């Protein structure tokens, strides 16, 4: 687990890392402001193949809506934060993409 000053160590970090080794899509879901985005970034660490997409950015959100297939096309780990804003991406993440998506969503 990553030891970061001021952050609470979470058991979920090791679970997410483990899930990424053998699961096609990993979803981190929970209430607002509980640390889902932080957890996904800590889990990704300094991997060179990681691409982070933040759907709370209007330009990124528009790109996801306009072409969801191209949006998830990435060879490596892709973090999509606020995935609930474009539910269509869930289907695209499961099929037709070579990326390993790590998704964060608020319930």
Q: 62, 87 in Cβ contact below 8 A?
A: no
Helix, strand, coil percent values for the chain (each to nearest 5): 40, 20, 40
Alpha helices in the chain (DSSP H): 11-22, 36-44, 58-66, 68-71, 88-94
Residue 99: which pLDDT band, with cuts at 50, 70 and 90? low
The mean predicted confidence, pLDDT, of the chain is: 84
pLDDT > 90 fraction of the chain, expressed in percent and rounded: 29
Q: 58-96: per-residue pLDDT in tens?
A: 999 999 999 998 999 888 899 999 999 998 888 776 555
Q: 51, 81 in Cβ contact below 8 A?
A: no
**Residue 97 in this model has a pLDDT that exceeds 90:** no
Domains, the chain, in order of start with CATH, read 25-106 (3.40.50.300)
């Amino acid at each position: 687990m990553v030891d970061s000053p001021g952050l609470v160590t979470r058991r979920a970090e090791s679970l997410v890392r483990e899930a990424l080794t053998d699961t096609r899509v990993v979803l981190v879901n929970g209430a607002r402001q509980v640390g889902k985005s932080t957890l996904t970034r800590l889990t990704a660490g300094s991997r060179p193949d990681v691409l982070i997409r933040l759907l709370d950015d209007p330009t990124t959100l528009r790109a996801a809506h306009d072409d969801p297939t191209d949006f998830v096309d990435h060879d490596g780990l892709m973090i999509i934060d606020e995935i609930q804003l474009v539910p269509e991406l869930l289907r695209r993440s499961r099929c037709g993409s070579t990326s390993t998506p790590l998704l964060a969503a608020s319930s």
